[in-house]
Amino acid sequence: MKFKFLLLLISIGLLSNAQEFNLNMKVSQSDLEINSFSKDSTANALIIYDYGNSFIDPKTFWLRFQIEQKIKILNKKGLDKGQVEIKLYKGKKSSEKILNIKGTTFNIENGEVIETQMSDDAIYKEENEDHTIVRFVLPNVRVGSVITYKYETQSRFISKFQPWYFQGSNPVLYSEYNTSIPGNYEYNIKFVGSTPLTTNDSKIEKNCVWLSSGVGADCVVSKYVMKDIPAYKPEGFTTTPLNYISRLEYELSTINGFDGSIDKITKTWEDVYEELRLDKNFGKQINKPSLSKNVLPESITKLSDDLEKAKAIYNFVTDNYNWNGKFERFDVSVKDLLKEKSGNAFEINLLLENLLSSQNIKTKPILLSTRENGLATKLYPVLTEFNYVILKTNIKDKEYLLDGTNKYLSFGEIPYRCLNQYGRLIDFEKGSYWTDINISKYSIRQHRVQLSASEDDLLTGTIESKFTGYHAHSNKEKYDQNPNQYKDNKVNEYSNFKIESLNAIDFDKKKYEFNESLAIKIEPEYIGEKIYFNPFILKFFDENPFKLQERTYPIDFGYKDIYNFVLKINLNEKLRVIESPKPINLTLPNNKGALIVNIEHDNNELTVYFSVRFNSAIYGPEYYEYIKEFMNKVVENQNNTVIVLEKI
């Protein structure tokens, strides 16, 4: 036993050593011999060492950025790391430069470490109007190789100090970024991501830059280190990766001239407030009587109830003006929209604001960034980050968010693309402020199945389905545009039962919900005198959408939702239940969700109740393992539940 225990200790020690890399640019034989990464078996490559250094050259005052990387190639998909591309900006008076490009590939051949240097012939340049694209290809790269490269860029464009990405599509063992910023340049520094810094140190270096006149400045010298950074791997139910990839970004705030002048680059919201008010594409088109004059019919303006009038105005806009699919806040013209009957999101929603305000229904615009565009910066105003506008109105002490671009949304709903946590409400009387974009209502998908056992060994009956909120939008649109095609698609979608007929119930594209009824027939498969029946003839999830080993960013559904399924079978004294699963009651931590499965039967009726509830729109990464396992249970129950019925 002692001998076996000693062997075990030796094995563990060897395994531990096998996963040790040199966290610097020097390539050792052990770096080459390790051909897997225990913390992420799916990794294509491993960034062993990632080093950056940015500083203002004390002589030229150009921004210099130096980078070094050491990368292990783990499989064929990782071979693309041997091709590097750098984009250099070209301005009217100056262009960014690149120099000192060096690259080396390391392999083991016959037990020896072989180095292959990259030649200058492997460096390519491509020019376009705005950029120079520099590409270089390292030689002799294969699975198991370790590659190293370095280069330096120089730029006069210091408004954005060189950003640093700690995280990417491959795991990183060690990432270090060093900066030196003269005191006359003030930057807003934004850290994005959830992976913590292991080092965040700053100090003052005296007299780091000097002019020939003898005037100089001190520098803030900073060092940022992050270790053991997991790869960012995209998965469903999220927004743009730019919201979550760990990185540092810089925005020039103020230039303090050596002559005592102060040039304020980044503005405050108080500064931007006046700019927006005078903006011809925004403020100049808000609450302007001339834009709403004689637009609304008398049947709407004569309505006395504010809520009914607001709904009528909303329906008038969505019915008469079409969104052209564009977002941009440039060349906005409500006048052109009124003439052409088609326009971008800003034009349509500013028209809606004007019409509501003209009827004394106080309405304010909210600037926001859509889910695909990323979260807007809260530290300081960056107007270019806002690519969309919605509206907020308050009627009878109740707030409503509005968007006029989609005729299949009901009053008080906004498109899914707008569910991006928060926006900036602009009130030209009281100022502006951040406001949360919260959807309090649950969106529901519900199926109620009523079946009856018949003489010819069939199960016949109906499915009544209800879709509300965000589960209803696409169904309403598809049904409204082509009812026959909608029905045909349903018939082709389900192979485990036959649809005899389908009818939409009280269809109205402006309603919050969409209801339909299907007459169906099921021919169960008998094995002897028994039926092995999966009651989930409709499934909410065919598979678990969460498959990652680790997820470092939130699960963002956008809204809270509920999935309900109820099935009742009248056995008609022709069948009886001889076996059924036990009930399940599973909850997520902090009551963030629940799965309930209950199967009941008496002598003549079988009832199956299945409910999945998500009580939050967004779940932090700490919930990932719980939700992943939760969804495993959901899918397993839908796919593998079997009730055994027997002929009487």
* C-beta of residue 504 within 8 angstroms of C-beta of residue 516: yes
pLDDT in tens, 195-243: 999 999 999 999 888 776 677 889 999 999 999 999 999 999 999 999 9
User: Per-residue pLDDT tens for 136-185?
Assistant: 999 999 999 999 999 999 999 988 899 999 999 999 999 999 999 999 89
Task: Evaluate the CA torsion angle 639, 642, 647, 648 in order and state its sign.
Answer: negative
Instruction: Say how far apart CA 551 and CA 593 lie, in whole Å.
Output: 19
Calculate mean pLDDT across residues 415-433: 95
- SS3 for 498? strand
Q: What is the mean pLDDT of residues 387-402?
A: 97
Helix (H) or strand (E) holding 640: helix 624-640
Supply the pLDDT for residue 432: 93
Predicted confidence band at 9 (pLDDT cuts at 50, 70, 90)?
very low
- Strand pairing partners for 256? 262
Side-chain half-sphere exposure of 623, counting CA atoms within 13 A:
20
Assign a CATH topology to domain 21-263.
Immunoglobulin-like (2.60.40)
- Residue closest to 616 by CA, chosen among 564, 558, 563: 558
- Rounded Cα gap, residues 37 and 19, in angstroms: 7
More confident residue, 434 or 13: 434
**Domain spans of the chain?**
21-263, 269-436, 443-647
Q: Taking Cα atoms as reference points, which of 187, 208, 191 lies closest to residue 200?
A: 191
Rounded CA-CA distance 348/345 in Å is 5
Q: Is the dihedral of CA 282, 286, 289, 292 positive or negative?
A: positive
Q: Is 475 helix (H, G, I), strand (E, B) or coil?
A: helix
In the chain, the N- to C-terminal Cα span, in Å, equals 61
In angstroms, how far is CA 211 from the centroid of its own chain?
47
Which secondary-structure segment (H or E) carries 451? strand 443-453
User: 18-22, 34-38, 428-432 — which is least confidently predicted?
Assistant: 18-22
Please give the full DSSP string across 337-402, using - where no structure is assigned: HHHHSEE-HHHHHHHHHHHHHHTT--EEEEEE--TTT-PPPSSS--GGG--EEEEEEEETTEEEEE
Residue 521: C-alpha distances to residues 457, 461, 494, 639, 648 (Å): 11, 7, 12, 20, 21
Q: Indicate whether 58 pLDDT > 50.
A: yes
Kindly report, residue by residue over 398-415, the tens digit of the pLDDT. Answer: 999 999 999 999 999 999
For the cut 50, the answer to whether the pLDDT of residue 4 exceeds it is no
Q: Are 343 and 321 in contact (CB under 8 A)?
A: yes
Q: How far apart are CA 635 and CA 637, in angstroms?
A: 5
> In this predicted structure, what is the pLDDT of residue 212?
66
What does residue 538 show for φ and ψ, rounded to 5 degrees?
A: -120, 130
DSSP-assigned states of every residue in 175-243: EEEEEEEETTEEEEEEEESSSPPSEEEEEEEEEEEE-TTS-EEEEEEEEEEEEEEPPP---SS---GGG
Rounded to whole angstroms, the maximal C-alpha distance in the chain is: 105
Half-sphere exposure for 405 (CA within 13 Å, toward CB): 23
- Indicate the range of 74-83, 192-201, 256-265, 431-440 predicted with least confidence: 256-265
DSSP per residue, 42-58: T-SEEEEEEEEEEEE-T
Q: What is the pLDDT of residue 11?
A: 40
Q: What percent of the chain has pLDDT over 70?
A: 97
Q: What is the pLDDT of residue 19?
A: 54
More confident residue, 175 or 15: 175
- Reported as a pLDDT band with limits 50, 70 and 90, residue 18 is very low
- Give me the chain's average pLDDT, please: 93
Distance of CA 82 to the CA centre of its chain: 29
| Residue-level pLDDT at 160 | 83
pLDDT reported for residue 3: 38
**CB under 8 A, 24+ apart: contacts of 33-38:** 33/108, 34/72, 35/74, 35/143, 35/144, 36/74, 37/72, 37/74, 37/171
User: For the chain, how big is the Rg over CA atoms in Å?
Assistant: 31
Structure tokens at 216: 């100089």
Amino acid at 119: S
Q: CA distances (Å), 245 to each of 399, 418, 502, 554, in order?
A: 34, 21, 46, 12
Tokens of 204: 């003052």
Give Cα separations from 464 to 77, 451, 502 (angstroms). 48, 11, 10
pLDDT in tens, 290-335: 999 999 999 999 999 999 999 999 999 999 999 999 998 889 999 9
Nearest of 104, 114, 113, 116 to residue 150 by alpha carbon: 104
Instruction: Map residue 626 onto helix, strand or coil.
Output: helix
> What tens digit of pLDDT does each residue of 511-568 get?
999 999 999 999 998 888 899 999 999 999 999 999 998 898 999 999 999 999 999 9
Per-residue confidence band for 16, with pLDDT thresholds at 50, 70 and 90:
very low
The residue count of the chain comes to 648
Residue 13 has pLDDT above 50, yes or no: no
Residue type, 108: I
More confident residue, 58 or 466: 466
Q: Please count the other Cβ atoms lying within 10 Å of the Cβ belonging to residue 110.
A: 5
pLDDT of residue 614: 98
Structure confidence at residue 497 (pLDDT): 93
pLDDT digits (tens, 9 = 90+) for 99-123: 999 999 999 999 899 999 999 999 9
269-436 folds as: C8orf32 fold (3.10.620)
Nearest to 182 by CA among 75, 288, 256: 256
